[in-house]
Amino acid sequence: MRKALIALGMLVCSLGTPASAQLSISFGSPGVSIGINLPVYPTLQRIPGYPVYYSTAVNSNYFFYDGLYWVFEDDDWYASDWYNGPWYRVDRFDVPVFILRVPVRYYRHAPDYFRGWRADAPPRWGERWGGTWAERRSGWDRWDRRSSPAPAPLPNYQRQYSGERYPQQVQQATIQTRNYRYQPRDPLARQYYEQRRSQVRTEAPQQRRTAPEPRQQVAPRQQAAQRQQVAPQQAPAARPQAPGAQGQQRATQARAQAKGQDKDKDKDQARGKGGPKDKD
């Protein structure tokens, strides 16, 4: 009986904490548009006492936590590993606790139902999202503020990518894997990063197979040596004869022709002498 009660208690506890295996977010999809269109990398400032940054210039509920950007829009949370998206909707049961704990005053575009809530306290998510959510996410608003984790480093490498240089989704994973070595702590952020890195490992061999081979550049000395090797194999062009040689050739031909004509005359004369004589 005691073992059955212990097993039941462990089951209840597991229902109260979202597990990474239960996350149903697909970060390989094209993403959604939520009206965020930033021309440059945003200014981010850390929230005192929290491992979370918020934007001081974006007119939106825009945050950065554990290697991901977070936006709260139309009663839903969205995440991305690049400051301007693409964005992916996150189930409210899977939103990290430190994002839920951000005080109301740091929501620059807070919804109307935030009115009347304490500015230095987090939103009343259980009151807004119902009893089922409150039961499964019980304890999200209780923690030791003295033991808050250190914030993730900001991905400042993204500052150089703005406007037309902002990379496409396929390029983002490669650039991030090359420039950002942070290992997330939150189960959802870990799943996101693992999918991204797996995508890079899968696409890298395909890109190597499909990429055209670069043309080898030949040094000038090597080009000259190649020309010297090819030159003897080519038939030499006929050399033009000098004017004097051409005159000698014509004189020789004329003498040969004159000799031929003299021989023809001698033959004609010989035939004339040997022919029949006329009668008297």
Angle at 21 between CA 19 and CA 25, to 5 degrees: 100
The 8-class DSSP code of residue 240 comes to P
In a domain, 261, yes or no: no
In a domain, 100, yes or no: yes
DSSP structure string for 123-153: --HHHHH-HHHHHHTTTTT---GGGPPPPPP
The 8-class DSSP code of residue 56 comes to S
The tokens for 58 are 């974006």
Residue 68 confidence (pLDDT) = 97
Residue 70 confidence (pLDDT) = 98
In a domain, 254, yes or no: no
In a domain, 226, yes or no: no
Dihedral sign computed on CA atoms, order 87, 88, 93, 98:
negative
Residue 25: C-alpha distances to residues 100, 130, 266 (Å): 18, 22, 116
Span 102-151, pLDDT tens digits: 999 999 999 999 999 999 999 999 999 999 999 999 999 999 988 889 99
**Number of helices (H), then strands (E), in the chain:** 8, 6
Query: Which has the closest alpha carbon to 63: 39, 24, 96, 91?
Result: 96
User: What radius of gyration, in Å, describes the C-alpha atoms of the chain?
Assistant: 45
Stretches where the chain sits below pLDDT 50 are 1-24, 208, 210-214, 277-280
3-state SS assignment for residue 192: helix
In a domain, 243, yes or no: no
Residue 145 confidence (pLDDT) = 85
Residue 164 confidence (pLDDT) = 94
Residue 202: C-alpha distances to residues 174, 180, 199, 211 (Å): 11, 19, 5, 15
In a domain, 257, yes or no: no
Show the domain range for 64. 31-207
Tally of domains within the chain? 1
Torsion of CA 224, 226, 232, 234, to 10 degrees: -110
Angle at 141 between CA 139 and CA 145, to 5 degrees: 110
Dihedral sign computed on CA atoms, order 90, 93, 97, 102:
positive
Residue 247 confidence (pLDDT) = 62
Torsion of CA 230, 232, 236, 241, to 10 degrees: 130
In a domain, 165, yes or no: yes
Residues across the chain: 280
